[in-house]
A and B are shown apart, each in its own frame.
Chain A
Amino acid sequence: MNSSDFAKQIREMSVKMVYRANASHIGGAMSMADILAVLYTDVMKYNPQKPNWEGRDRFLLSKGHACVSYYATLALAGFFPAEELDSYGQNGSKFLCHISHLVPGVEISAGSLGHGLPYGTGIALAGQIREQDYHTFVLLGDGEMDEGSNWEALMFASHHHLNRLCAIIDYNKIQSLGNTNEVMNLEPLVDKLKAFNCHVLNIDGHNHEEILNAFRKFEVQTDKPTVIIANTVKGKGVSYMENNLAWHYKSPNEEQYETAIKEIEK
Chain B
Amino acid sequence: MRTAFIQQLIKEAETNDKIFLIVGDLGYHVVEPFRDKFPKRFLNAGIAEQNMIGVAAGLAKEGYNVYIYSIANFPTLRCLEEIRNDVTYYNGSVKIVAVGAGFAYGSLGMSHHATEEIGIMRTLPNMVVASPSDPGEAQAVASFTANYPGSMYIRLGKAGEKQVFPDNQEKLQLGHLHCLRESDSKNILLATGSILFDSVNQINELSIDTAIYSVPFIKPLQTEQLLKLAEKHPNMVVIEEHQKSCGLGCAIIEQISDLYATGRLKNYPKIHRLAINDEYVHIAGSEEYLRKFTHLTLSKDLFC
Contact = CB atoms under 8 A, between A and B. Distances in A.
A156 B59 contact: no
B77 interface: no
Interface in A98-124: 101, 107-112, 114-115, 117-124
Interface stretch (A69-77, A146-154, A252-260): A146-154
Interface string B36-70: 00001001011010111111111111111000000
Interface centre among B40, B43, B45, B56 (most CB of A within 10 A): B45
A125 interface: yes
Contacts of B148: none
Given A109-B85, A118-B53, A159-B46, 11 more contacts: A101-B90, A112-B81, A114-B50, A119-B54, A122-B60, A125-B58, A125-B59, A126-B59, A152-B46, A156-B48, A156-B55
Contacts of B52: 118
B82 A118 contact: yes
A156 B51 contact: yes
B40 A153 contact: no
23 contacts: A101-B90, A109-B89, A112-B85, A114-B50, A115-B81, A115-B82, A115-B85, A118-B50, A119-B58, A119-B61, A120-B58, A122-B55, A122-B56, A122-B58, A123-B59, A123-B62, A124-B58, A125-B58, A126-B61, A130-B62, A153-B51, A156-B51, A159-B46
A82 to B, nearest CB: 27
Contacts of B55: 118-119, 121-122, 125, 153, 156
A120 B54 CA distance: 8
Question: Most chain-B CB neighbours within 10 Å: which of A109, A127, A152?
Answer: A152
Q: Which of B46, B51, B57, B89 has the most CB of A within 10 A?
A: B51
Interface string A54-79: 00000000000000000000000000
A107 B58 CA distance: 10
A156 B58 contact: no
A1 interface: no
B117 interface: no
Contacts of A127: 62
Interface of A: 101, 107-112, 114-115, 117-127, 129-130, 148-149, 152-153, 155-156, 159
Contacts of A118: 50-55, 57-58, 82, 86
Nearest to A117: B54
Contact of B57 (A114, A119, A124, A159): A119
B85 A121 contact: no
Interface class of chain B by DSSP: helix
Interface string B133-171: 000000000000000000000000000000000000000
Given A101-B90, A153-B51, A156-B45, A126 B62 contact: yes
A122 B54 contact: yes
Contacts of A130: 62
A120 B46 CA distance: 17
Contact of A122 (B40, B48, B61, B89): B61
A177 B52 CA distance: 30
A152 B56 contact: no
Contacts of B46: 152, 155-156, 159
A235 to B, nearest CB: 28
Nearest to B49: A152
B64 A126 contact: yes
Nearest to A124: B58
Nearest to B51: A152
B22 to A, nearest CB: 9
Contacts of A129: 40
A159 B45 CA distance: 10
Q: Which of A108, A122, A159 has the most CB of B within 10 A?
A: A122
A153 B62 CA distance: 18
Chain B CB count within 10 A is highest, among A109, A111, A126, A153, for A126
B286 to A, nearest CB: 34
Given A126-B62, A155-B46, A149 B51 contact: yes
Contacts of A119: 54-55, 57-58, 61, 86
Contacts of B85: 109-112, 115
Nearest to B61: A123
